[in-house]
Structure 1
Amino acid sequence: MKEQLKKLINTFFSFKGRINRLAYFGYGCVLFAYWLIIYLILMLSEPTTVELIIFLVLMILPFVSSTSLHVRRLHDLNHSGWWAIVIFIGVLSIPVISNIISLIAGIYLTFWKGTDGPNDYGNDPLNDDPFMYDTITQDDEKNIN
């Protein structure tokens, strides 16, 4: 059970390794559902200041997790994770431009095939279980334990 929890946390919060298209899409759907539930709860109530602060704290986790997914998907495409900044520039810029940038980045990350075989960022994730592959290296396990 402890190992499964490590893998789950690693899947959502690690910035190392690669993630394939199916896993990227699947975990993206999980994060979207989380965001939607929190958003609906917020919209259906009249939040106080304390509730708004709790809402912001609850939104930090999926933000970090989605950044992790973007970075590892970029790694699968053999690009630096720093390109994820382009996605956030899109989110923070002028509305029409942000929609175009986010759409292009989303299509690219979701549908473009990753690098076949090993690349600069690790082994091909298609050789592993598409949802629960282990990106923890032996050195990382020594640091965890």
Structure 2
Amino acid sequence: MNTHFTPTIDSPLKANGRFGRMSYLGWNMLMSFVMIMVIGLIFAFTPGLLTDPYNMTGSSTPGTIAVALIVIAYIAMLYFTFVFTIRRLHDRNHSGWLSLIMLIPLVNVLMMLYLIFAKGDVNPNQYGVPRPTQTWEKVLAWFYILVFPIGIFAAISIPAYQDYVQRAQQVEMQQNMQDVDQ
């Protein structure tokens, strides 16, 4: 009997297979980088999209194409988000259909936290053997882990600080006006 072993090629961009926590975070970080670059290029090559968002100048073609490209990029991002979520669920030996929970607001945050923190099966399960995490995936995952909280902190603190500075300037102007009046 001739048994020939044919290794299966695990494509991370397809829903069948498994993703460990670090692979899941690494691929999500890569997807975020790609989306930022794609949307940045769309804005860079579409003059007036940022300065004239309501198309007051009447040139509709560049804006329409840019919006269509952004919609296509967003759909691609949604697709890959579901692929990565399904693969992570497979690592936990759950059905990929649970990925539809990601469509429910607020519950999707809990699902994301579950996928990040829940340990995967170390043994083969019905979705295959554990997939080894590549070094570059680990690097991107740690970058995601370290940068994401900093980004949230910055998104909250910078506008709060700007509001504080603006209110302090208003109070200072009021005090100066009162000093002039006296």
TM-score w.r.t. the length of structure 1 is 0.67
Q: Does 1:82 align with 2:97?
A: yes
The equivalent residue for 2:130 is 124
The equivalent residue for 2:68 is 53
| Contact 2:17–2:128 (8 Å) recurs in 1 | yes
| Contact 2:42–2:69 (8 Å) recurs in 1 | no
The equivalent residue for 1:69 is 84
Q: Which has the higher helix share?
A: 1
The equivalent residue for 1:95 is none
Q: Does 1:34 align with 2:40?
A: no
Q: Does 1:101 align with 2:97?
A: no
Question: Deviation digits for residues 12-36 of structure 1, max 9, x if unmatched?
Answer: 2x11111100100001111122233
| Contact 2:93–2:125 (8 Å) recurs in 1 | yes
For residues 85 and 74 of structure 2, what CA distance do their matches in structure 1 show?
A: 17
Deviates more, 1:114-123 or 1:52-61: 52-61
Unaligned runs of 5+ in 1: 1-5, 91-97, 133-145
SS in 2 for 1:119: coil
Q: Does 1:115 align with 2:121?
A: yes
SS in 1 for 2:119: coil
The equivalent residue for 1:11 is 12
SS in 2 for 1:37: helix
SS in 2 for 1:58: helix
CA drift at 1:49: 0.8
CA drift at 1:106: 1.0
Count residues in correspondence.
112
For residues 12 and 130 of structure 2, what CA distance do their matches in structure 1 show?
A: 15
CA drift at 1:38: 3.8
For residues 102 and 64 of structure 1, what CA distance do their matches in structure 2 show?
A: 16
TM-score w.r.t. the length of structure 2 is 0.55
| Contact 2:123–2:130 (8 Å) recurs in 1 | yes
Counterpart code for 2:88 = R
SS in 2 for 1:79: coil
Q: Report the aligned-residue RMSD.
A: 2.2
| Contact 2:86–2:95 (8 Å) recurs in 1 | yes
